[in-house]
Amino acid sequence: MFGPLPIRILAGITFLAHGLPKFEDIAGTQGFFGSIGLPPELALPIGLLEVIGGIFLIIGVVTRISAALLIIDMIGAIVLVKLPDGFVGGYEFELLLIAISVSLLLTGPGRISIEYDVLKRE
């Protein structure tokens, strides 16, 4: 089962690329979080979730857990930020990431992954 590989890697890169900027200006990220009604202290855990979760998806370890947490992250982004903008130009990107994450949650990482190699040996 090699099907999950390309979506797992691309989703991982995407989450990583969207998580890293949260640390470039952590005060700005905290300010944004405060402006949408989230506690500013959540900026760090959410940034870490996106960066570490993205890395985990890329290498294929704890894929299902990472995917589940990233689904929650994207639902929060849609509900708190993107919903008023509508589908196109609003939340279609986050919805696509949710669909990819649901697929990974259901299928796991696929054959080319650290997780598969570890489980295969047991």
The 3-class SS string of 3-57 reads CHHHHHHHHHHHHHHHHCHHHHCHHHHHHHHHHCCCCHHHHHHHHHHHHHHHHHH
Query: Does the pLDDT value for residue 2 go beyond 80?
Result: no
Give the pTM. 0.90
Mean pLDDT, to the nearest integer, of 67-84? 97
**pLDDT confidence tier of residue 30, bands split at 50, 70 and 90:** very high
**DSSP state, residue 41:** G
- What pLDDT does residue 120 have? 66
The pLDDT > 90 percentage for the chain reads: 84
Q: Does pLDDT of 115 surpass 90?
A: no
Tell me the two tokens of residue 17. Answer: 């690329």
